[in-house]
Amino acid sequence: MRRRQFLSAAGFAAAGFAQAQQPSGSAGPRARGGMRSASSGFPGGLQPLDGGKIGNTGPMKITGIKTFLVGAGGRNWVYVKVLTDQGIYGIGEAYSAGPDEATIKVIEDFATWLVGQDPRNVQYLFDVMYNTTRFPGGLIVNSAISGIEHALWDIAGKSAGVPVWALIGGRMRNKIRTYQSTGGATPQQAGENAKKMVETYGYTALKMGIQAPGEMPYNRATRETVAHVRAVREAVGPDVDIGVDVHAKFFEAARAIRLGHAIEPFNPMWMEESIRTENFAAMKKVSDHVNIPLASGECNYMIHEFRPLIELQALDFVQPDICCCGGVLTMKKIAAMAEAQFIMVAPHNPMSPLATAVNVHFAASTPNFFILEYAAPDSGARKDVLKEPLMVKKDGYLEIPNKPGWGVELNEEAFKHMPPAPWRRGTSFRSDGSPYFQ
Minimal distance, residue 189 CB to Mg ion, in Å: 21
Maximum Cα–Cα distance across the chain: 72
For Mg ion, which is the closer residue by CB, 100 or 245? 245
For Mg ion, which is the closer residue by CB, 248 or 408? 248
**Part of the chain binding Mg ion (CB under 5 A), chosen from 101-109, 237-245, 262-270, 307-315:** 237-245
Number of other CB atoms surrounding residue 394 within 10 Å: 9
- Which residue in 100, 149, 241, 245 binds Mg ion (CB under 5 A)? 245
**Part of the chain binding Mg ion (CB under 5 A), chosen from 82-90, 210-218, 238-246, 387-395:** 238-246
Minimal distance, residue 269 CB to Mg ion, in Å: 13
Number of other CB atoms surrounding residue 195 within 10 Å: 19
Number of residues that bind Mg ion (CB under 5 A): 2
Minimal distance, residue 390 CB to Mg ion, in Å: 21
Please give the residue whose beta carbon sits closest to Mg ion in the complex.
Answer: 245
* 384 phi-psi bin (left φ>0, alpha ψ -120 to 50, beta other): alpha
Minimal distance, residue 48 CB to Mg ion, in Å: 43
Per CB under 5 A, contacts with Mg ion among 178-207 are: none
Q: What is the rounded CA–CA span in Å between residue 315 and residue 83?
A: 40
**Part of the chain binding Mg ion (CB under 5 A), chosen from 96-104, 135-143, 242-250, 306-314:** 242-250
**Contact 103/90 with Cβ under 8 angstroms?**
no
- Catalytic residue numbers? 245, 247, 272, 298, 321, 348
Q: Name the residue among 382, 391, 376 with its Cα closest to residue 70.
A: 382
3-class secondary-structure state, position 35: strand
Q: Got the DSSP string for 102-164?
A: HHHHHHHHHHHHHTTS-TT-HHHHHHHHHHHH-SPP-HHHHHHHHHHHHHHHHHHHHHHTSBG
Q: Which helix (H) or strand (E) holds 331?
A: helix 328-340
For Mg ion, which is the closer residue by CB, 249 or 382? 249
The contacts of residue 172 (CB under 8 Å, 6+ apart) are 364, 365, 366, 367
Minimal distance, residue 83 CB to Mg ion, in Å: 34
For Mg ion, which is the closer residue by CB, 245 or 316? 245
For Mg ion, which is the closer residue by CB, 108 or 316? 316
Per CB under 5 A, contacts with Mg ion among 254-313 are: 272
Tell me if 321 contacts Mg ion by CB under 5 A.
Answer: no
For Mg ion, which is the closer residue by CB, 126 or 374? 374
For Mg ion, which is the closer residue by CB, 156 or 299? 299
Minimal distance, residue 194 CB to Mg ion, in Å: 17
**Contact 24/40 with Cβ under 8 angstroms?**
yes
Q: What is the rounded CA–CA span in Å between residue 244 and residue 197?
A: 16
Start-end of H helices in 202-315: 218-236, 253-263, 280-289, 302-311
Radius of gyration of the chain from Cα atoms? 23
Minimal distance, residue 75 CB to Mg ion, in Å: 15
For Mg ion, which is the closer residue by CB, 61 or 348? 348
For residue 144, the cross-strand partners are none
Task: List b or e across 111-148, with b for residues whose CB sees 16 or more CB atoms inside 10 angstroms.
Answer: bbbbbbbbbbbbeebbebbbeebeeebebbbbbbbbbb
Burial (CB count <10 Å: 0-12, 13-18, 19+), residue 304: exposed
Minimal distance, residue 320 CB to Mg ion, in Å: 12
Contact residues toward Mg ion (CB under 5 A) are 245, 272
